[in-house]
Structure 1
């Protein structure tokens, strides 16, 4: 990786770029603060340049790929600030007081929820829940920090239905997805929609005939190409903020919406199951 500031590096090498690389460079230099929140698919669409050209552009700058390039962008943007205003997160500064920091964290999470609500497609949601109600199994999938979100979703649905299933190991997830049927629903969670394991799981579940629900940030990503329903979370997460709670909160909000609509449509059965599962763990409490 080049040790030079990434924007200076781009400017220095600009005249040596191909025509398509110059388009990418110009867009990056004009929108530098937004780049670290963009997927390669989104940058490709915004700059009107193919993903393969963007990948070659990043390699030409000395990076192994687009993700390492985004990390360099985040580091360069942080370096533009003085020590007193060094950015820790999206909004939080090094010299913020405890009260200011707490307020900013709250507003970041509220903003993520507000944007997620605005991105809701109620027709897609209704269809997704209907498929879940009809399904024999609802399988949750996720890798890394998204697995934690998937586990939360599985835990929530397991309280009201025995249809919920989850496998932790990525290899076992792949095998589980490969054996799904048209009577099952796969809920695949990935913030970027570009995690290789999640893409493969969605692809295999789709090939098996299952109904695939993708929970992600980007509508156009490799994973959503295999989704029957795409639910978008409205949280921005930079490359140095992997697994941010604001993104997780937005994903959990979507799972909550699915849960309560499912509960409504299966009220008598879900209510009875919730009482039974509550009693099953009652003696575990003091």
Structure 2
């Protein structure tokens, strides 16, 4: 079944939690029904933390008392189970038959997009779109799988008339970002938000006065804290064998939302330019 919004919020905040808080959230995600029916003492005993830690956890991450937290979680679990039933495990195994594997890959993609959409804040998204359209140049940077998202984003924005640069190799990235300016927008794509080379590049862009837009699963990460604007992507990396699929799909979903809105605002100009280009090529 679909995860309750409360579980989704906690799962995506896990990166910034202390060791004790991580133990608590792992137990909640593993067995939310147990947490709903257990007392604070029972929960703390099973998890191996103090009663006060459990109570502080509910207040810190949800702004709720322990009892209100349980009631909210219980209500959301009931609502989510009525909306959708999840019939297969998202884990992909070597022994899976082809048709089963196809369904699981589809599940990873669908749930990554759905969960990322649930985390979207329209006001923050509008800030990102405004910054993107106001920028003289766009820099999309990322490494590893996130670097592929950066390259694809740069290619797409170039096609609709933006001066877009994209880098997924650290030496070229350092060199180019060093010359970023205050009227540039630097889009940093990092699932963890803690990639050392990207943190260095982000700090350089920040020192140059550029606007920083971060796309990350962890808004409280080093990169998230350096950015003026943060869009949060979601992916159940620790649960899925196909982590890279879900992560990249969720990143590209956010980038495509930005791209599509930008295209809406310059559609007539882009349409005219493409007709002109085709006439010259033919």
TM-score, length-scaled by structure 2:
0.65
Are 2:226 and 1:232 aligned? Answer: no
Are 2:129 and 1:129 aligned? Answer: yes
Corresponding residue of 2:141: 141
The one-character-per-residue Cα deviations of 1:101-152 (angstroms, maximum 9, x if unpaired) are 2111111110101011111111111111111111110111011111111011
The one-character-per-residue Cα deviations of 1:7-33 (angstroms, maximum 9, x if unpaired) are xxxxxxxxxxxxx97x47955984796
Paired with 1:225 and 1:277, the residues of 2 have a C-alpha distance of 42
Corresponding residue of 1:182: 182
Three-state SS of the structure 2 residue aligned to 1:91 is coil
Is the 1:133–1:266 contact (alpha carbons within 8 Å) kept by the matching residues of 2?
Answer: no
Corresponding residue of 1:150: 150
Three-state SS of the structure 2 residue aligned to 1:223 is helix
Is the 1:159–1:273 contact (alpha carbons within 8 Å) kept by the matching residues of 2?
Answer: no
Paired with 1:254 and 1:189, the residues of 2 have a C-alpha distance of 11
> Kindly tell me: are residues 134 and 29 of structure 1, through their superposed partners in 2, closer, same or farther at Cα, counting changes over 3 Å?
closer
Three-state SS of the structure 2 residue aligned to 1:244 is helix
> Kindly tell me: are residues 116 and 138 of structure 1, through their superposed partners in 2, closer, same or farther at Cα, counting changes over 3 Å?
same
What is the CA-CA distance between 1:273 and the residue it aligns to? Answer: 3.8
Are 2:197 and 1:197 aligned? Answer: yes
Unpaired runs of 5+ in structure 2?
1-17, 32-52, 58-88
What is the CA-CA distance between 1:173 and the residue it aligns to? Answer: 1.0
Are 2:211 and 1:218 aligned? Answer: no
Is the 1:159–1:277 contact (alpha carbons within 8 Å) kept by the matching residues of 2?
Answer: no
> Kindly tell me: are residues 93 and 241 of structure 1, through their superposed partners in 2, closer, same or farther at Cα, counting changes over 3 Å?
closer
Three-state SS of the structure 1 residue aligned to 2:222 is coil
The one-character-per-residue Cα deviations of 1:18-51 (angstroms, maximum 9, x if unpaired) are xx97x479559847969xxxxxxxxxxx9999xx
Paired with 1:131 and 1:96, the residues of 2 have a C-alpha distance of 45
What is the CA-CA distance between 1:169 and the residue it aligns to? Answer: 2.8
Corresponding residue of 1:161: 161
Q: How many residues align?
A: 212
Is the 2:113–2:253 contact (alpha carbons within 8 Å) kept by the matching residues of 1?
Answer: yes
> Kindly tell me: are residues 231 and 29 of structure 1, through their superposed partners in 2, closer, same or farther at Cα, counting changes over 3 Å?
closer
Paired with 2:118 and 2:25, the residues of 1 have a C-alpha distance of 27
Is the 2:192–2:217 contact (alpha carbons within 8 Å) kept by the matching residues of 1?
Answer: yes
Are 2:103 and 1:110 aligned? Answer: no
Structure with greater proportional helix content? 2
What is the CA-CA distance between 1:161 and the residue it aligns to? Answer: 1.4
> Kindly tell me: are residues 28 and 216 of structure 1, through their superposed partners in 2, closer, same or farther at Cα, counting changes over 3 Å?
closer
TM-score, length-scaled by structure 1:
0.65
> Kindly tell me: are residues 256 and 222 of structure 1, through their superposed partners in 2, closer, same or farther at Cα, counting changes over 3 Å?
same
Is the 2:92–2:242 contact (alpha carbons within 8 Å) kept by the matching residues of 1?
Answer: no
Corresponding residue of 1:96: 96
What is the CA-CA distance between 1:240 and the residue it aligns to? Answer: 8.8
Are 2:175 and 1:171 aligned? Answer: no
Unpaired runs of 5+ in structure 1?
1-19, 35-45, 50-88
